[in-house]
Amino acid sequence: MKVTFYGHSCFLVEGNHKSILIDPFLKGNSQTSASTEDFKVDAIILSHGHEDHFGDCLQIASENQCPIIATFELAMYCQSQGANVHPMHIGGSFQFEGFKVKLTQAFHGSSVKHGDQMIYTGMPAGILLTMNDHTFYHAGDTGLFGDMKLIGELNEIDLAALPIGDNFTMGPEDALIAAKWLQVNRVIPIHYNTFPIIEQDVNKFAKKLDDQGMKCHILNSGEQVEI
């Protein structure tokens, strides 16, 4: 499994002859130079509906003729906009051809802006994506919650993407606890430094992870790790 970061919370995950894009926020993302035409993908997974995660999913899905995988309410909104969708919900899993997705809880909000309206799009989610017997956990936007211990106990997580920006999500201190509870040895920090309100010292976070015996992968847009 190859995991490539495209800034903020966006990833391309490749393996088993499949390419999966998560939270494709590209236009307006100060942390990436990638554009929609750069991606040839088999599916898109959304953690929730906020603009900095929903991003360019409709355009990419249309150009690639691929499904958007999301919680039911968000999937139905995408379908109303012409997208092919696969609706899921928290705790549910589905074995797609070449990869498996399970959605976990995340403590946050979820909505999309439609004209002058704000449309509620159900619960936000974390994502467990499994390919070739390896599992990548994308926590989505979330605060720290006790059932991260259960997620760690029930799944062998090879790599976790955890938000550290604070204000809207976990900050670095809570992300350190989350990494321990998830029983993961490799972490990619996400959802930081894109906007002034979520600026963090990522090197300080990496040092504290290292002190806990964990590897922190600080990635720039286009950089990748393999598991």
Please choose, from the candidates 18, 10, 1, the residue with its C-alpha nearest in 3D space to the C-alpha of residue 222. 10
Average pLDDT over residues 13-17: 97
pLDDT of the residue at 166: 98
Question: Which CATH homologous superfamily contains domain 2-213?
Answer: Ribonuclease Z/Hydroxyacylglutathione hydrolase-like (3.60.15.10)
Q: Are 57 and 44 in contact (CB under 8 A)?
A: yes
Average pLDDT over residues 143-169: 98
Q: Are 109 and 124 in contact (CB under 8 A)?
A: yes
Please choose, from the candidates 172, 167, 168, 169, the residue with its C-alpha nearest in 3D space to the C-alpha of residue 187. 172
Instruction: Place 222 in a pLDDT band, splitting at 50, 70 and 90.
Output: very high
The H or E element spanning position 206 is helix 202-211
Q: Are 164 and 137 in contact (CB under 8 A)?
A: no
Domain ranges of the chain: 2-213
pLDDT in tens, 67-122: 999 999 999 999 999 999 999 999 999 999 999 999 999 999 999 998 899 999 99
Instruction: Place 160 in a pLDDT band, splitting at 50, 70 and 90.
Output: very high
Percentage of the chain surpassing pLDDT 70?
100
pLDDT of the residue at 23: 98
**Number of residues in the chain:** 227
pLDDT of the residue at 167: 98
pLDDT of the residue at 98: 97
Percentage of the chain surpassing pLDDT 90?
98
Beta bridge partners of 211: none
Q: What is the pTM of this model?
A: 0.97
pLDDT of the residue at 197: 98
